[in-house]
A = this chain, B = another copy of it.
Amino acid sequence: MKSYKVLFAPTLTETRQEAGKTILDAARELGLYIDSQCNGRGKCGRCRIRVVEGKAGPFTQEESEFISLTDKGLGYRLACMARVAGDMTVLIPQENVLSSEAAKKVFSKRSAVVNPAVKAYVLDVPREEGAHIAYFERITTLLAAQYGLKDLVVDIGVLRGLAEVMKEAENIGKATTFVWMDREIVSVRSGADDACLGLALDVGTTTVALYLCSLRDGSIVATASTTNPQVLFGTDIMSRISYSSHHPGLGVKRMQTELVRAVNALIEQMTAAIGLSPQGIMDVTVVGNTVMHHIFLGIAPDHLGLWPFSPTVQGSTDVKIREVGLTANPASYAHVLPIEAGFVGADNVAVLLSEEPYNREDISLTIDLGTNGELVLGNRDRLFSCSCATGPALEGAHIASGMRATVGAIEKVRIDPLSFEVDYAVIGTDGWASRHAAGDLKPVGLCGSAIIDTVAGLFKTGLLGQDGAFKENGGARRLRKGQTGTIEFVVAWSHESATGKDIVLTQRDVRQIQLAKGALHGGCRVLMRRLNIDSLPRMAIAGAFGMHIDKENALAIGLFPWIEPEKMDMVGNAAGHGAYLALMNREKRAEANRIAREVTHIELALEPDFQKEFLRALSIPYKEV
């Protein structure tokens, strides 16, 4: 039987598989989790994957039930139906589309002000008796008379269709004009129809989140997220930079295109779900770290990886939708938020917009935990920021049994101090596993919060020393020498897991967590020293990671400086929320540019204190002097 090379992303796991095997079976063999409720019978449509390179076997009748023609064109398949038929690269996207009611609950804080960059103006259009007056000038005259708008320009795309629309508008007696920043007409409709959408786009290194909003009232009408398909080119920003450098010109183009395709597929799903056209998206705001920011704009990020690490542009950038290829009104603009400095990107600026530490009198520490940890400390008087190279361990990456915080991940762990037995909770089920009947959702791996819990539990039960070394004489049967000779702790046995393999935390994993917390905690200390404070009045933790972690356990291992748990806020996707605020209120855009410039960035590598703090913070917990 012929066999072929199959590469799975985002994990970049490579395998050889026999021709004819389904992709679902191949993934399961490798311990890669793909959701399937019908157990591989092509009935539930949950096992959507994307064949990015190479070709799978023929597209089946079952698949056509769940996969649109557009998505088919992008390589979407059902993993249980698509069969290995050649070398291929398969992306397992973590897609999630919510519409209406569910989406409305995404942000607890709605925008207080609805003052978007694009506003709708409904016009009375009297029938023009005199001949020869141009349609564009007719519209600007009406906008001036009815709304006082002056000196307007118009997008060439709008101009090309204007005569048709205006003839219809004259028949109806109404037209609706969409004006960007009181300056440029980006759409004209006949009739009185001021419905228009905005999209807030949060481009993470690993995950892309979309918030589709009504520009009329600030409500959120749909949200979606997916794996950033750029993981195909490397899981972290340095490998994306490297991919771009090794493929001059084409590298950035390909990464940009893959990102936009994935976003467009979601836009189509979201708008279809609420019965609107993507052309009704009249404005887009975009946040992301500096590398994501550059790639989104089609700027090769090569120079970000080389001294002097200068970005191409720092301030906010408005770019025509058609120049980046998004499925939205092509005449509109995408507003890309400003970046702060180096790798402290527009995502962090958005977090600040959401948290507004610059408007507070009390000092607060804002931590955005993604693949990097980005910190801002201060208040209305001054703000200091730094970027900590925490690495991806806190996201569950580069950890033996690690995975992202998604369905099937163990999110909580507790270890009995006497028996050393383990209980855990799995995302997608309610409560602790010990209360569930067998046959319930089986765990696939450990996400970041479970890793923290495990390290904390091991430390509290005495199985792990202050230096992070396992105590082999701990006597627990779950502590054992693993296959590679290093010690590991078994969180779940093979018979309990979805992959049929033990879920473990290894000595190497603990070291990764120590390095991550050393960097994060050390960074906090350097900022605190700048402000001359040794305790924190308030802390806000942004990012998906923060939503799952157990505060006490995080403090127990010294992930950050001690603070009373009730002064610690888990603020969710504050970057996405900041993008939403900039979408709903144009004043926020000016505010973002101002604060991006006002924050004083501290380069940790150049701080004499950092090395000392880093070393202290390696200890569990932090070693006070």
User: A135 contacts the other chain (Cβ, under 8 Å)?
Assistant: yes
- CB-CB under 8 A from A339, the residues of chain B are 134
User: A303 contacts the other chain (Cβ, under 8 Å)?
Assistant: yes
Report A142-175 CB contacts with B as 1/0, cut-off 8 Å.
0000000000011010011011100100000000
Which residue, of A164, A307, A313, has the highest number of chain B Cβ atoms within 10 A? A313
Binds B, one of A58-66, A125-133, A472-480: A125-133
What is the chain B residue whose CB lies nearest that of A157? B323
- Our pick among B163, B298, B303 for the contact of A167 (Cβ within 8 Å) is B303
What is the chain B residue whose CB lies nearest that of A128? B308
CB distance A137 to B342 under 8 Å?
no
User: A609 contacts the other chain (Cβ, under 8 Å)?
Assistant: no
- Please, how many angstroms separate the alpha-carbon atoms of A313 and B156 in the complex? 11
User: A277 contacts the other chain (Cβ, under 8 Å)?
Assistant: no
User: A601 contacts the other chain (Cβ, under 8 Å)?
Assistant: yes
- Nearest Cβ on chain B to A55's Cβ, whole angstroms: 33
User: A403 contacts the other chain (Cβ, under 8 Å)?
Assistant: no
Residue total for A at the interface (Cβ-Cβ under 8 A):
44
CB distance A160 to B300 under 8 Å?
yes
- Please, how many angstroms separate the alpha-carbon atoms of A497 and B503 in the complex? 97
CB distance A310 to B159 under 8 Å?
no
CB distance B132 to A601 under 8 Å?
yes
CB distance B132 to A342 under 8 Å?
yes
CB distance A342 to B131 under 8 Å?
yes
CB distance A314 to B137 under 8 Å?
yes
- Please, how many angstroms separate the alpha-carbon atoms of A601 and B339 in the complex? 53
- Nearest Cβ on chain B to A128's Cβ, whole angstroms: 7
Report A588-617 CB contacts with B as 1/0, cut-off 8 Å.
000000000000010100000000000000
CB distance A310 to B131 under 8 Å?
yes
What is the chain B residue whose CB lies nearest that of A131? B308
- Please, how many angstroms separate the alpha-carbon atoms of A297 and B160 in the complex? 8
User: A136 contacts the other chain (Cβ, under 8 Å)?
Assistant: yes
CB distance A308 to B132 under 8 Å?
yes
CB distance A135 to B313 under 8 Å?
yes
- CB-CB under 8 A from A133, the residues of chain B are 310, 314
CB distance B134 to A314 under 8 Å?
yes
User: A31 contacts the other chain (Cβ, under 8 Å)?
Assistant: no
What is the chain B residue whose CB lies nearest that of A322? B323
- CB-CB under 8 A from A135, the residues of chain B are 310-313
- Please, how many angstroms separate the alpha-carbon atoms of A319 and B155 in the complex? 8
Task: Please give the count of copies of this chain that the complex contains.
Answer: 2
- CB-CB under 8 A from A163, the residues of chain B are 299-300, 302-303, 310, 312
- Nearest Cβ on chain B to A296's Cβ, whole angstroms: 11
User: A315 contacts the other chain (Cβ, under 8 Å)?
Assistant: yes
User: A309 contacts the other chain (Cβ, under 8 Å)?
Assistant: yes
- Nearest Cβ on chain B to A600's Cβ, whole angstroms: 12
- CB-CB under 8 A from A303, the residues of chain B are 163-164, 167
Q: Which residues of A284-330 are within 8 A (CB) of B? A: 297-300, 302-303, 307-315, 317-320, 323
CB distance B159 to A313 under 8 Å?
yes
- CB-CB under 8 A from A131, the residues of chain B are 307-310, 342, 603
Given A134-B314, A313-B136, A315-B136, does the pair A160, B128 have CB atoms closer than 8 Å? Answer: no
User: A341 contacts the other chain (Cβ, under 8 Å)?
Assistant: yes
- CB-CB under 8 A from A132, the residues of chain B are 308-311, 341-342, 601, 603
- Nearest Cβ on chain B to A244's Cβ, whole angstroms: 11
- CB-CB under 8 A from A159, the residues of chain B are 297, 299, 312-313, 317
Report A336-378 CB contacts with B as 1/0, cut-off 8 Å.
0001011000000000000000000000000000000000000
- Please, how many angstroms separate the alpha-carbon atoms of A308 and B167 in the complex? 10
Q: Which residues of A15-59 are within 8 A (CB) of B? A: none
- CB-CB under 8 A from A310, the residues of chain B are 128, 131-135, 138, 163
CB distance B136 to A314 under 8 Å?
yes
- CB-CB under 8 A from A298, the residues of chain B are 156, 160
Report A378-420 CB contacts with B as 1/0, cut-off 8 Å.
0000000000000000000000000000000000000000000
- Please, how many angstroms separate the alpha-carbon atoms of A563 and B299 in the complex? 64
Given A132-B601, A300-B163, does the pair A156, B312 have CB atoms closer than 8 Å? Answer: no
Given A128-B308, A136-B315, A310-B135, does the pair A297, B342 have CB atoms closer than 8 Å? Answer: no
- Nearest Cβ on chain B to A422's Cβ, whole angstroms: 46
Given A156-B298, A342-B132, A603-B131, does the pair A162, B312 have CB atoms closer than 8 Å? Answer: yes
- Please, how many angstroms separate the alpha-carbon atoms of A172 and B323 in the complex? 32
What is the chain B residue whose CB lies nearest that of A308? B131
- Please, how many angstroms separate the alpha-carbon atoms of A428 and B231 in the complex? 68
- Nearest Cβ on chain B to A171's Cβ, whole angstroms: 13
- Top 4 closest pairs, chain A to chain B, by CB: A134-B314, A131-B308, A136-B313, A163-B303
Interface of A toward B, CB cutoff 8 Å: 128, 130-138, 153-154, 156, 159-160, 162-164, 167, 297-300, 302-303, 307-315, 317-320, 323, 339, 341-342, 601, 603
Instruction: Pick 25 A–B contacts, CB within 8 A, sort by A.
Output: A131-B309, A131-B342, A132-B308, A132-B310, A132-B311, A132-B342, A132-B601, A133-B310, A134-B312, A134-B314, A135-B310, A136-B312, A136-B313, A137-B313, A137-B314, A137-B315, A153-B318, A156-B297, A156-B319, A160-B297, A160-B298, A160-B300, A162-B312, A163-B302, A167-B303
